[in-house]
Chains A and B, each alone.
Chain A
């Protein structure tokens, strides 16, 4: 049975529809990310699940129970906020124990559970500190412990890593995922950072303009984007304008270069389509298995350490490609002529 079901969820602020017919079914223990640019409605969906916003339509069910009309303090949901939101007047231990105190649990039970939670987040000795005495990363871990202490049915994370610096962001997201796996708690994670979403989720929901554009595993989202938006928002993408030469054969023309996709294209002859390729599937020079070859001129070279990013002018358009650094291979010179090869099965034809 699905742990959390969202059906035909709608939200309007005045005439502005911010969430449109949103559907999602989350299995027990699953980690789902809502990914999208700011204003795409991802936070609004999360806030409706938490009970902070009332849906204009649709239903939310947790463990089979319809909670759409239930106030947030009766939903038994754990929530972690971007701004930590620890109670500044309470110590770490009191913060973590707050939910249990509200629920009227015994002192001994609260004490045991708080100690357990502080162990879980790796801060067993900080129970007597006040929030202002902690670093941002520590505060957010305490906030996570506080949310988990009430043994919620669902854990909601609203951009919990956005206020932290880059290094802690990476280590804490792994820690969150580790804890989530250990407890097996159903989790929704809201983020605008695609790397975050891809790296820790079971499934990713890419949202745009209040609509779920694609729902799928990170590998699928990245490699088989269903819409142009998903392809461009998740990862870097080269988009080339191509003309259809023979739709049945899947033959396209990019300037003077012919590209044979090997599968039929659903477009008319001479129609314009967008051909897309990730920078890492392109190779500088010819390579075995890469059957499509473009000739061009090196326009820019960026040496990023382990990765070399090269931009080429091909048929009047720009292509970016990534290759790994190899000590024996110095970067090509700007202005020199070069060839780019790619396997035609790695090319995507994007629908708008």
Chain B
């Protein structure tokens, strides 16, 4: 009889092939810009393109703002729901899940309809306004991941007792959030932040329809017009995502007090 182990390994090998082969294919193709030999020509061409640098920088800056705003909204909300409104948790959880079931295209059409130049809040009338709108859109898209990460982080500490301990020592709400709650869920916030970063870097629909020079539309544009460069871009985008995942692991490991039980 063939052992159970063999079948598990076979399934794993199949899975790895399924995911790795396309990637390897893309990587291999991206190196074939010069006829007959492997070269980094496609990467050189991508990195030399000023538009690549501009759009990438734009997306990174947007990602950073998205993370800050997202954390500012999510951490106090998740904390307050856990502390004072536990009955509302399913409702809040449902709301944070909505971006997963409502396609970005619907969201962005809604935005354009609501915030166009003839609306009560003409955000799309200026570049800054559109940037803010895009950033808030990104924050919405990353909400399911950010909220879940922070909520899981809050589960590992005794929120109610720590809050009361801080209150008895004279701390107000701001101090409690900044010095007690946030430092203890920082690892969770960071893991949410890296997922947000990956989402923002790769996002296409919002940026494209709001007509902002983000990395996603640039990738699409390159893909439509060039042969080898899109493959190189895809490899770069994958690397960025993987570096993010690696960073999550690193941060989790380097945190000094994560062994703490309470």
Using a CB–CB cutoff of 8 Å, the interface residues on chain A facing chain B are 50-52, 71-79, 81, 83-89, 98-99, 102-103, 130-132, 143, 146-147, 150, 156
Contacts and interface: CB of A to CB of B under 8 A. Distances in A.
Contacts of A75: 168
B257 A102 contact: no
A81 B165 contact: yes
B168 A78 contact: yes
A83 B161 contact: yes
B260 interface: yes
Interface string B179-191: 1100110000000
16 contacts: A52-B167, A73-B167, A76-B170, A79-B168, A81-B164, A83-B161, A85-B162, A87-B179, A88-B260, A88-B262, A89-B180, A89-B257, A99-B169, A99-B170, A102-B169, A131-B262
Nearest to A104: B170
A79 B164 CA distance: 9
A13 to B, nearest CB: 15
Given A88-B257, A102-B171, A130-B256, A52 B164 contact: yes
A96 B94 CA distance: 40
Contact of A72 (B162, B168, B259): B168
B164 A72 contact: yes
A52 B158 CA distance: 16
B131 to A, nearest CB: 34
B157 interface: yes
Contacts of B162: 85, 87
B195 interface: no
Given A131-B262, A132-B261, A85 B161 contact: yes
Contacts of B262: 83-86, 88, 131
B86 to A, nearest CB: 15
A130 B168 contact: no
B166 interface: yes
Q: Which 10 pairs of residues, A with B, have the shortest CB-CB distance?
A: A99-B169, A88-B260, A132-B260, A79-B168, A85-B165, A89-B183, A85-B161, A72-B167, A73-B167, A102-B170
B175 interface: yes
Interface of B: 157-158, 161-162, 164-172, 175, 179-180, 183-184, 256-257, 259-262
A94 B214 CA distance: 44
B163 to A, nearest CB: 9
Contacts of A79: 164-165, 168
Given A83-B161, A88-B257, A88-B262, A146 B183 contact: no
A99 B168 CA distance: 8
A73 B175 CA distance: 11
Contacts of B179: 87, 98
Given A86-B262, A89-B184, A98 B169 contact: yes
A75 B164 CA distance: 13
B256 A146 contact: no
Nearest to B169: A99
Nearest to A47: B164
A77 B261 contact: no
Contact of B161 (A51, A81, A89, A99): A81
A348 to B, nearest CB: 41
Contacts of A88: 157, 184, 257, 260-262
Contacts of B165: 79, 81, 85-87, 143, 146
Contacts of A156: 168
A50 B168 contact: yes
A50 to B, nearest CB: 6
B257 A130 contact: yes
Contacts of A71: 167
A283 to B, nearest CB: 49
B196 to A, nearest CB: 23
Given A85-B161, A87-B162, A88-B184, A131 B260 contact: yes
A150 B169 contact: yes
Contacts of B184: 87-89
Given A79-B164, A132-B261, A146-B165, 8 more contacts: A50-B164, A73-B171, A73-B172, A85-B162, A86-B262, A88-B261, A98-B166, A130-B260
Nearest to A78: B168
A87 B256 CA distance: 13
B221 to A, nearest CB: 45
B164 to A, nearest CB: 5
Contact of B164 (A76, A85, A89, A102): A85
Contacts of A52: 164, 167
Contacts of A98: 166, 169, 171, 179
Contacts of A131: 257, 260, 262
A168 B169 CA distance: 26
